[in-house]
Amino acid sequence: MISSDVNALRLILHLLEAAEWQQDLPRLVRGALNRQRRGAWDLTTANAWGALAVEKFSRAFEATPVTGTTTASLAGATDRLEWSTTPKGKTLAFPWPPRGEDLLVNHEGSGHPWITVQAQAAIPLKTPLTSGYRITKTLTPIESRQPARWSRGDLVRVRLAIEAQSDMTWVVVSDPVPAGASHLGTGLMRDSQIATQGEALEGWVWPAFEERAFEAFRAYYAYVPKGSFVVEYTIRLNQGGRFELPTTRVEALYAPEMFGELPNAPLEVLP
């Protein structure tokens, strides 16, 4: 039996046997692990190949236990990790330097620890950011007191069209809502079922869980294949004012470098 999971795992085994693509093998293994759904690959054959591939990869790259001390330094600041007291590793955080600097990492001891480097900055987003997911957002009035303007009490249908550039497991869609807005479709006694009719779920993707929090709508997906899908929800605007909303974000939970962000324009609601 053949599948894309089987082919990916057989490729890893072949490269380990041929001692080729050594620098790319860790990325291939990580990609293969991200293809799992609920801790397993798609076929029994794939799970058998996967167990062999992971075991052989561990013997080739992780045969020696990691001991000793790992030290990282950036722009004069230094932090260290003692593997004897923190065997699972930890995050070493540094402030952003005022100019370009080299990040130096040194390990003294046995083994070769894995290192993930991320840069985080709190800066306003002006244009859409695509690093694996592209987001398009549309607001449609369901009930509106004034045309072309938002007013208190209006019903708004929010449509999020998302394009995924690759297959990924456990993806979350988070879209902020204005302060004081209430979600429809929660199942409460006084909730309007008529207002939520027509909400679309397009594409071969269905959420495993939807969260309608007071600050955002979130949808969690166990698996999102490459391609496009749409999710919609409905809110009632209960508060007037000018609302500065954070960005709409789509992110793979176990591969945070795969994400997309969309800045939201200020939302003005008449009293």
Per DSSP, the three-state class of 255 is strand
Longest dimension (CA), the chain: 70
Q: Rounded mean pLDDT of the chain?
A: 89
DSSP E strands, 84-199: 103-108, 129-131, 133-143, 150-151, 155-164, 168-176, 182-183
Amino acid at 88: K
156 contacts 142 by C-beta, under 8 angstroms: yes
Query: Would you state the pLDDT for residue 162?
Result: 96
Mean pLDDT of 116-128: 86
Alpha carbons 164 and 133: distance in angstroms, whole number: 5
Tell me the pLDDT tens digit for each residue of 253-263: 888 889 999 99
Phi, psi of 79 (to 5 degrees): -140, 155
Strands 241-243 and 201-202: unpaired
CA distance 213 to 200: 20
pLDDT of residue 230: 94
For residue 229, the one-letter residue type is F
- Residue 196 pLDDT more than 60? no
The confidence band for 198, taking pLDDT boundaries of 50, 70 and 90, is low
